Structure 1
Amino acid sequence: MSKAKKKSHKGQHRHFTNPEEIAAQMREEANKNTWRETRDSDDSDSDSEDEMQSRKGVEGLIEIENPNRVTHKMKKASELDTTSEAKAPLTRREREEIEKQQARLRYQKLHAEGKTDEARADLARLALIRKQREDAAKKRDEEKKAREAAKAKKK
């Protein structure tokens, strides 16, 4: 049994557009654009009449106010109300995070003033350490003086 191969389109010839054809197409487009611009500038005063006549059926005669129809109007950046976003209620997590930050700041302030238990303990520990260092410094000075006195007696 022989297998029949399906014909593939991969090896077929490719067609490229001539540069002359491309240049001709571009010239035609340029001519159309210039014709449109001249036509639009001539008919600028009759645009509103064309719009009224181009409506289909009774559309031009009757103005209908559809409450479901939404017209999107462009808003300027200066007209946007940024305060409405700030007035939006906070989520529970956001509110808890803000409360946590405020509590931390309050605690740091009280701690700096020495009004918390931890601050009092720290201050007592610091006072003890200062006293020990002062005692050690006095002791070193006394030993230094004693050494100098001993050297003076030897001489």
Structure 2
Amino acid sequence: MPRGKYTNHKGRNRKFTSPEELEEQRKQEEQKKKWRKDHGEDTSSEEESGNEKSGSGSDSDSDSDDEHPTKAKGVSGLIEVENPNRVVKKNKKLSNLDNLGEGGKPQLSRREREEIERQRAAAAYQKAHAEGKTEQARADLARLAIIRQQREEAAKRREAEKKAKEESTTKKR
């Protein structure tokens, strides 16, 4: 057997109370109770709780429990508190479940709802951009107008240069 800090007590002998001893203790308690009743002494709360634990209560004890409601300990009797985390199971009517299954939309998760909202916003922005109603579209159109004007001027210059070359070649001939 190991000596020291860690010992296992599972193999040791155990002492059990014999049924005769238990019966004798119960009889002694009943005699004490009877003597107190006869002499008119009130039983203390310690002895009442002892009777409840041992399970040898009489019919009068169970009647008194029904008459007096149990008092809540501490402040819980003064304040009624409802636990917000407690999930109360709600009964659903079968007729309501059938209606929800047929015509109701399926519940979407938060991510799915956000994705649909993003797609709607993008489509609305594209439509407004095509109509030229957004700031970016206005800036793009202004840039395009400037570029067109520059290209037209460059085309006119090229035409003028071509005409000048043609005239100079015709004069040389």
TM-score scaled by length of structure 2: 0.40
Between the two structures, name the one with larger relative contact order (CA 8 Å, sep ≥ 6).
1
TM-score scaled by length of structure 1: 0.45
Bigger Rg, structure 1 or 2: 2
